[in-house]
A and B are shown apart, each in its own frame.
Chain A
Amino acid sequence: MSNGGFFLMGSIEAMRPVFLIVMGVFMLIFAWRLARNSDAWTSRLMMAGALMLAFGYALMLPLYEAGILERYAPGRMTYEGSAAAAMGWHAIKLVVMNAGWLVFGIGLAMHAKLLSPAPVANPRREARARNAHEFIA
């Protein structure tokens, strides 16, 4: 590879798709490893969200950066390809990225037991247990 190519690859603009692909794939892997030891619905939600996010980050955003998918803007009238395709991909991107974060967030919240009450130790029961212990001792 020529020197120019190497520097081009090292620049931020060219590294960004690589970074996105790596992050998307690793997110999928870690979500899978977390989901392996979770409840059924937790793992399902986490995997669904991670799959959507990995599709968005590792596939769609690099394709956008490479210019294969055209960017959609509400006021734009002229597209190189078809306007309907640009709009369709835009819709898919919106759904995948936003719903992906939502579903992954719900899965992670269930994994962290965010939606169930905190396991606070009952001080009275603890005190009673300690007293009983002392009595026995």
Chain B
Amino acid sequence: MNSSLETLIQNGLLLDAFGVVGLGLIGLAAVRLARRNQSWGGTMMACGAIALLIARLYVILSPHFINDDVLHRIGPVGISVTYGLPPILLTLGLAGVVWGLWGHERWLKENR
């Protein structure tokens, strides 16, 4: 296989950076919408984007610092948190973004 393609897929830095930058843009845009329009949809979207961003950053960074030593130190509760929290954050974040999008769209329609 093409080596550059392989590097792109296996390291994934460029694409992960795209995703993180996009989520950050969504968060900023949502805050801007919430401040400018006082629409609750923007606030909801910002919360969702932040949750998605935290979970995404954790998923990207965790292979670099999670090892047996760290797992031993944080104990069983910490381990279950590292397993349970990212999917919950991803789910809630996606729901928040979509819900906020709906709220903002409805708010726009009501005020037009």
- Mark A residues whose CB is within 8 Å of B: 16, 19-20, 23, 26-27, 30-31, 33-34, 37, 49, 57, 74, 87, 90-91, 94-95, 97-106, 108-109, 111-114, 118
Contacts and interface: CB of A to CB of B under 8 A. Distances in A.
Contact of B23 (A19, A74, A94, A105): A105
Contacts of B30: 108, 112
Nearest to A91: B9
A22 B21 CA distance: 25
Contacts of A106: 22, 25
B66 to A, nearest CB: 16
Interface in B1-30: 5, 9-10, 12, 15-16, 18-19, 21-26, 28-30
Contacts of A23: 94-95, 98
A56 to B, nearest CB: 11
A112 B56 CA distance: 23
B21 A102 contact: yes
Contact of A105 (B12, B21, B94, B112): B21
A112 B29 contact: yes
A27 B29 contact: no
5 contacts: A27-B101, A97-B19, A103-B22, A104-B22, A112-B32
Chain A contact residues: over half helix, strand or loop, or mixed?
helix
A105 B33 CA distance: 13
Contacts of A16: 91
Contacts of B15: 94-95, 98-99
B83 to A, nearest CB: 13
Nearest to A101: B22
Given A27-B101, A113-B36, 17 more contacts: A26-B102, A27-B97, A30-B98, A34-B101, A90-B9, A94-B12, A94-B15, A95-B15, A98-B15, A98-B22, A99-B22, A102-B18, A112-B28, A112-B29, A112-B36, A113-B32, A114-B25
B25 A98 contact: no
